């Protein structure tokens, strides 16, 4: 994927990235009481990198979201999810029983902690989903010359 | 912690699957082995606890603290404790076995990813087994399947890619049918929890005559038959087993299709109820009987013609899944006992045989049957493993396979299905034909030339444990009381 | 699922009724009220046809997606009640109050999960197709099988020769 | 009916009409560029007019802010997308349609 030679498209794509990401966070925050949530927010977040890749070339987008950063984020988001579930378990509740995180039996406090737990796992979902979507795009759209370099490195590793 | 075990046996492998890519290449394998060891220990503990409970009760665990009809419930009873123990035990042994094998067959940068996906698949399979919610069953089924597609496609040859793809297409087709079955079930009963659906059936027996319920059961049967590669629907299976990396082959062949078979047992007996098989839709029961019997005969027949050891074993698995399903079609205590025994017996025997194939791939770089010649001289322990496991497949007395056939035959007589007996005998005969071919090559076809190195102990020891299990389960039938109790609990 | 809120409604309303064996007029009447089921079956058949009959691997994946979409439609039809509202919590009027029926949210939640599963399957499938294209230079099933068969034949011929040699060696012993 | 409501009704009506015209244009125009022209211009203004009409109807502050933002972004992104599409069409060699001129489907040297 080459960079477009249109200044307008490149400029607008670059400038719109923070707005898209802000909107992704907005969607994430609204997941609890309306349409939205971690999955949708994550996809929107990833789309900002896809836009960069489309407008400014594969390499530009990949530098903004490098594999070095995304690959650890993939399991990390799930770990946030599982970690909150396990924390609830360690706090004496069932797995994923967020209310138990409060450490008190007051229903009001438990209700609050239930919300915190829910938002926490949504954040985890968002991290994984956005990393997965961006990785999917960049891996599938990888230009032939990059692919050739990756293959060469792989073969050298095989020989070693 | 004891109360949390049902969640922990799933969460620990899942957690490890996510930690493996972060841990880096050195710590990865240790993490895999540790997580699966913990899961195995938990499953054994669950098995003991489930058997201590009085008849008809089960260990129940409400995820997130939401009680059953609303939330998702994990249920451990005698049947799935048996399957869980088999699953986690085999997964642990394969994890021990696979370190050297994957180092030779998987590209170094992909090894941690392979371990991670392997753990995900183990967690998915255990999730299918432990869940008490039909939709959750579908989700775990898809987790296990998607990871299986990836694990297969990582094989060395390019055929692995196509094998993974065709499994993906047929597996997704099966999953879609299962999803439709769940939809029809929900449409008629308005609930997704297995125990709740069963309660609805008990309350309103006239539902058995509803076409929606019958459609649901038909969808479940076809979908799960596709997933477990029951005879006419086995198209994806030989390619998938033959082309996958050795470690994947061992794990898939020993566990994956059996878990789908377990899901069919769970749906047929716990959700729909044993009476539905008899009165609601007897035609499905008869169809399953025919499919199981044809699988038992045709599988070994197809295996005889193969030149690739892994493909040969894959076709033999097509036959062996027939034994697992036969009990469902007979649905009496002895038949079920036979099939439940086969969950363990076949896992041990087929696991051991695929370990031999993996050893061959490790040592000779090929899995052609011809590469077996001279195995008895070069690697006597591996050759003995091949002998024991093959005997168990044939059903020689004092091996585990014999018990399976004995109980299935008794169940068939009890059910008045005389035709099953010659089917079992014919299958043993055909199995003996290809087993003899393997053994003859291994022990009697000598080869001139230097004695090559055997596989390292890290591969030999776990496979010998599987081989020993074939003997121990046959001589001292440890599994028998467990399987009998599970069978009685279902009926 | 627990987050769906509200009590579980058993599927009710006209859409949940089951068609029995019916006369032609009844079938027409059923079509008029249950056309979504007819569409679901039609979509499913198209998808199934594409999965089984198309030779192009990408088209098979598209067929699979159609099949899944048909199932989504089926599920949403189960939960549908004519004239019902969305099961969203209003501060001034809770769902179910004042006799306002609301649609069963559970099928929607289930399909949300199923959509995620479907996306994952599609992603894996497309990744495999990309790799297949790299390895075989084609995405046509027939060409792939033909190419494999040629390779397979050569290999099995070699294997047979080896086995025969081994047998001969065994006979000499 | 207040003045604002009349303005709102007029804006929404005009916007809807424009979007209808857009759909019509996309269906009947002869080639890629003319269709893009219809889609790009008509849709942008149509959507903006509908949203402006809704804005006149009022609501709480967050709603007003959201609507203003949406209008703002539509005015930036729609023309950009149209521009990118037209450019992509040009680069990949699609010939603009000329009345009575050459065959619109005829290939053209890329970049010529």
Q: Is B110 on the interface with C (CB under 8 A)?
A: no
In A68-97, the residues whose Cβ lies within 8 Å of chain C are none
Name the packing angle between helices B479-490 and B78-105 (round to 10°).
Answer: 130
**Residue contact D83–A9, C-beta within 8 A:** yes
Asked if B64's CB is within 8 angstroms of A82's CB, the reply is: no
Give the SS3 label for residue C19: coil
Chain A residues with a Cβ under 8 Å from any Cβ in chain D: 4, 6, 8-9, 12, 16, 19, 55
Q: Do chains D and B meet with 3 or more Cβ pairs nearer than 8 Å? A: no
For chain B, list the contacting chains (3+ Cβ pairs, <8 Å).
Answer: A, C
For B235-267, the pLDDT digits (tens) are: 888 889 988 998 999 999 989 889 999 999 999
Q: Give the whole-angstrom CA distance, residue B75 versus residue B394.
A: 35
Report H helices in chain D. 3-28, 32-57, 61-91
Residue of B nearest to C49 (CA): B173
Instruction: Flag whether D106 is in a domain.
Output: no
CB D108 within 8 A of CB D90: no
State how far the Cα of B234 lies from the Cα of B226, in Å rounded to an integer.
Answer: 7
- Determine, yes or no, domain membership for D65: yes
Provide the pLDDT for residue D106: 53
Domain holding B396, by residue range, is: 281-491
Condensed to tens digits (0 to 9), the pLDDT of residues B50-64 reads 888 887 778 888 887
pLDDT of residue C118: 92
A139 close to C (CB below 8 A):
yes
Q: Identify the band that residue C6 occupies on the pLDDT scale cut at 50, 70 and 90.
A: very low
Q: Which residues in chain A land under pLDDT 50?
A: none
Residue A127 CA to residue C108 CA, distance in Å, equals 24
Q: Please report the pLDDT score of residue A67 as a whole number.
A: 86
- Residue A39 distance to chain C (closest CA, Å): 9
Q: Is the pLDDT of residue B276 over 90?
A: no
- Chain C residue with the nearest C-alpha to that of A141: C130
DSSP secondary structure letters along A47-72: HHHHHHHHHH-HHHHHHHS-HHHHHH
- Whether the CB-CB separation of D92 and D110 falls below 8 Å is answered with yes
More confident residue, C33 or D27: D27
Return the top range by mean pLDDT from C12-16, C160-164, D92-96. Answer: D92-96
- Contact status, residue C1 vs residue B68, Cβ threshold 8 Å: no
| pLDDT, chain B, mean | 87
B389 closest CA partner among B469, B319, B302, B491 = B469
Residues B470-476, mean pLDDT to the nearest whole number: 82
At C3 the pLDDT is 34
The reported pLDDT for the residue numbered B115 is: 92
Cβ separation C51–B173 shorter than 8 A? yes
| pLDDT score of D88 more than 50 | yes
Contact A136 C3 (CB under 8 A): no
Task: Using pLDDT thresholds of 50, 70 and 90, give the confidence band for residue B144.
Answer: very high
Phi–psi pair at B61, nearest 5 degrees: -135, 120
- C135 lies within 8 A of chain A by CB: no
Greatest alpha-carbon span in chain A: 63
Domain of D19 in residue numbering reads as: 3-91
pLDDT for position C95: 55
pLDDT at C59: 93
pLDDT of residue C9: 38
Per-residue pLDDT reduced to its tens digit, B314-342: 999 999 999 999 988 888 888 888 888 88
Could D83 and A16 be called an inter-chain contact, meaning their C-beta atoms sit closer than 8 Å?
Answer: no
Q: Which of B218-232, B390-404, C155-169, D96-110 has the lowest mean pLDDT?
A: D96-110
Which chains have 3 or more CB–CB distances shorter than 8 Å to chain D? Answer: A
CATH class belonging to C10-161: mainly alpha
**Which chain A positions have a beta carbon within 8 Å of D73's beta carbon?**
19
The closest of B301, B173, B316 to B241, measured between CA atoms, is: B316
Phi and psi angles of residue B299, each rounded to the nearest 5 degrees, phi first: -55, -60
Give the pLDDT confidence score for residue B220 in this predicted structure: 92
- Buried/exposed B24-60: b ≥16 CB within 10 Å, e otherwise: eeeebbebbbebbbbbbebbebbbeebeeeeeeebbe
**Higher-confidence position of D95 and D16:** D16
Q: Do A140 and C89 touch (CB under 8 A)?
A: no
The count of domains in chain D is 1
User: How far, in Å, are B58, B185, C63, C70, C120 from residue C44 at the CA level?
Assistant: 39, 19, 9, 5, 20
Question: So what's the pLDDT on residue C7?
Answer: 36
CB of C117 within 8 Å of any CB in chain A? no
pLDDT at B173: 93
Query: Total domain count for chain B?
Result: 1
Confidence of residue D112 (pLDDT cuts 50, 70, 90): very low
Average pLDDT over chain C, rounded to whole? 76
Q: Show me where the domains of chain A are located.
A: 7-143
DSSP B419: T
CA dihedral A98, A104, A107, A108 (to 10 degrees): -90
Q: Which residues in chain B are contacts of C121 at CB distance < 8 A?
A: 142, 146, 168, 172
Which pair of structure tokens corresponds to residue A57? 């070339």
Inspect the interface and report whether the beta carbons of A118 and C116 lie closer than 8 Å. Answer: no
pLDDT, tens only, B186-218: 988 888 888 888 888 888 888 888 888 888 999
Provide the percentage of residues in chain B whose pLDDT is more than 90: 30
Least confident of B138-142, C75-79, C167-171, D94-98: C167-171
Q: Using CA atoms, how far apart are residues C132 and C130, in angstroms rounded to an integer?
A: 5
Tell me the mean pLDDT in the region B429-444: 88
**Quick check: D96 pLDDT over 50?**
yes
Alpha-carbon gap, residue C79 to B349, rounded angstroms: 47
Higher pLDDT, B132 or B447: B132
Per-residue pLDDT, averaged over D27-53, amounts to: 89
Quick check: B164 contacting C, CB < 8 Å?
yes
- The answer, yes or no, to whether residue D25 has pLDDT greater than 50, is yes
Q: Residue C167 has what pLDDT?
A: 67
Cβ B99 vs Cβ B29: under 8 Å: yes
Within 8 A by CB and 6+ apart from A75, the residues are A128, B17, B18, B19, B20, B21, B22, B116
Percent of chain B with pLDDT over 70: 98
Over range C70-98, report the average pLDDT: 72
DSSP B62: E
**Is residue D42 in a domain?**
yes
Dist. CA B323–CA B337, nearest whole Å: 11
Which B positions 81-100 lie with beta carbon below 8 A of chain C? Answer: none
């Amino acid at each position: 994927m080459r960079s477009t030679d249109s200044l307008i498209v490149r400029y607008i794509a670059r400038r719109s990235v923070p707005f898209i990401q802000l909107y992704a966070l907005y969607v994430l925050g609204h997941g609890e009481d309306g349409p939205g949530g971690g999955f949708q927010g994550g996809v929107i977040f990833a789309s900002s990198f896809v836009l960069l890749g489309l407008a400014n070339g594969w390499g530009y987008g990949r530098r903004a979201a490098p594999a070095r950063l995304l690959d650890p984020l993939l399991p990390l988001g799930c770990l946030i999810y599982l970690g909150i579930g396990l924390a609830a378990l360690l706090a004496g509740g069932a797995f994923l029983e967020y209310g138990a995180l409060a450490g008190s039996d007051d229903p009001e406090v438990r209700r609050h902690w239930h919300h915190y737990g829910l938002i926490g796992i949504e954040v985890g979902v968002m991290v994984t989903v956005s990393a997965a979507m961006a990785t999917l795009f960049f891996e599938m759209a990888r230009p032939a010359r990059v692919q050739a370099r990756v293959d060469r490195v792989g073969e050298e590793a095989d020989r070693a | 912690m004891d109360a949390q075990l049902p969640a922990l046996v799933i969460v620990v492998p899942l957690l490890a699957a996510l930690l493996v890519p972060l841990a880096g290449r050195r710590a990865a394998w240790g993490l895999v082995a540790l997580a699966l060891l913990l899961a195995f220990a938990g499953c054994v503990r669950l098995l003991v606890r489930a058997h201590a409970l009085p008849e008809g009760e089960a260990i129940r665990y409400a995820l997130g603290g939401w009680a059953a009809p609303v939330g998702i419930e994990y249920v451990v009873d005698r049947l799935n404790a048996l399957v869980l123990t088999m699953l986690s035990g085999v997964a642990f042994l394969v994890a021990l076995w696979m370190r050297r094998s994957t180092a030779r067959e998987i590209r170094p940068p992909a090894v941690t990813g392979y371990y991670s996906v392997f753990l995900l698949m183990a967690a998915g399979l255990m999730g299918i087994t432990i869940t008490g919610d039909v939709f959750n069953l579908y989700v775990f089924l898809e987790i296990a399947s998607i990871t299986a597609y990836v694990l297969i496609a990582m094989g060395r040859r390019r055929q692995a890619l196509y094998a993974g793809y065709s499994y993906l297409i047929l597996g997704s087709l099966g999953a879609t049918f299962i999803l439709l079955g769940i939809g029809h079930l929900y449409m008629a009963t308005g609930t997704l929890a297995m125990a709740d659906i069963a309660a609805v059936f008990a309350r309103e027996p006239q539902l058995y005559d509803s076409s929606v319920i019958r459609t649901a059961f038909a969808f479940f049967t076809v979908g799960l038959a596709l997933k477990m590669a029951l005879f006419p629907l086995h198209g994806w299976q030989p390619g998938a087993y033959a082309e996958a990396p050795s470690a994947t082959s061992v794990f898939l062949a020993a566990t994956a299709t059996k878990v789908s078979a377990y899901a069919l047992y769970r749906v047929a007996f716990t959700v729909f109820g044993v009476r539905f098989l008899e009165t609601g839709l007897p035609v499905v029961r008869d169809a399953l009987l025919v499919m199981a019997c044809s699988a038992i005969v045709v599988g070994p027949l197809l295996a005889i013609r193969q030149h690739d050891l892994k493909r040969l074993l894959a076709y033999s698995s097509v036959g062996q899944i027939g034994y697992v399903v036969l009990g469902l079609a007979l649905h009496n205590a002895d038949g079920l006992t036979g099939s439940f025994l086969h969950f363990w017996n076949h896992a041990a025997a087929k696991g051991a045989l695929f370990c031999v194939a993996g050893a061959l791939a490790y040592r000779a770089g090929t899995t052609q049957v011809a590469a077996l010649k001279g195995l008895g001289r070069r690697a006597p322990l591996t050759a003995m493993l091949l002998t024991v496991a093959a005997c168990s497949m044939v059903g020689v007395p004092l091996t585990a396979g014999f018990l399976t056939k004995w109980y299935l035959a008794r169940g068939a007589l009890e059910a008045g299905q005389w035709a099953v007996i010659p089917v079992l005998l014919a299958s043993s005969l055909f199995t003996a034909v290809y087993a003899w071919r393997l053994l003859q090559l291994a022990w009697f076809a000598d080869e001139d030339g230097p004695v090559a190195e055997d596989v390292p102990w890290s591969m030999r020891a776990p496979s010998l444990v599987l081989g020993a299990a074939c003997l121990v389960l046959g001589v001292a039938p440890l599994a028998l009381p467990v399987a009998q109790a599970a069978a009685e609990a279902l009926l | 699922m627990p987050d769906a809120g509200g009590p579980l409604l058993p599927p009710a309303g006209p859409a949940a009724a089951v068609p029995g064996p019916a006369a032609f007029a009844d079938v027409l009447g059923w079509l008029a009220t249950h056309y979504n089921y007819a569409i679901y079956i039609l979509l499913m058949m198209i998808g199934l046809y594409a999965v089984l009959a198309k030779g192009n691997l990408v088209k098979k994946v598209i067929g699979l997606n159609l099949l899944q979409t048909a199932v989504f439609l089926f599920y949403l039809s189960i939960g549908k009640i004519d004239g019902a509202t969305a099961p969203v919590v209003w501060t001034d009027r809770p769902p179910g109050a004042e006799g306002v029926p609301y649609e069963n949210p559970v099928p929607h939640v289930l399909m949300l999960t199923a959509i995620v599963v479907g996306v994952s399957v599609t992603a894996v499938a497309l990744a495999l197709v990309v790799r297949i294209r790299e390895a075989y230079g084609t995405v046509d099933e027939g060409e792939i099988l033909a190419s494999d068969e040629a390779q397979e034949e050569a290999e099995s011929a070699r294997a047979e020769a080896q086995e025969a040699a081994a047998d001969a060696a065994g006979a000499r012993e | 009916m207040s003045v604002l409501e009349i303005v709102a009704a007029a804006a929404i009506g005009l916007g809807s009409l424009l979007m209808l015209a857009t759909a019509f244009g996309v269906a009947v125009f002869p080639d890629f560029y003319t269709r893009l022209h219809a889609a790009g211009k008509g849709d942008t203004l149509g959507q903006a007019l509908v949203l402006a009409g809704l804005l006149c109807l009022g609501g709480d502050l967050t709603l007003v802010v959201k609507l203003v933002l949406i209008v703002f972004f539509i005015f930036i992104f729609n023309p950009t997308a149209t521009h990118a599409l037209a450019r992509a069409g040009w680069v990949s060699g699609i010939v603009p349609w000329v009345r009575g001129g050459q065959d619109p489907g005829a290939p053209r040297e890329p970049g010529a």
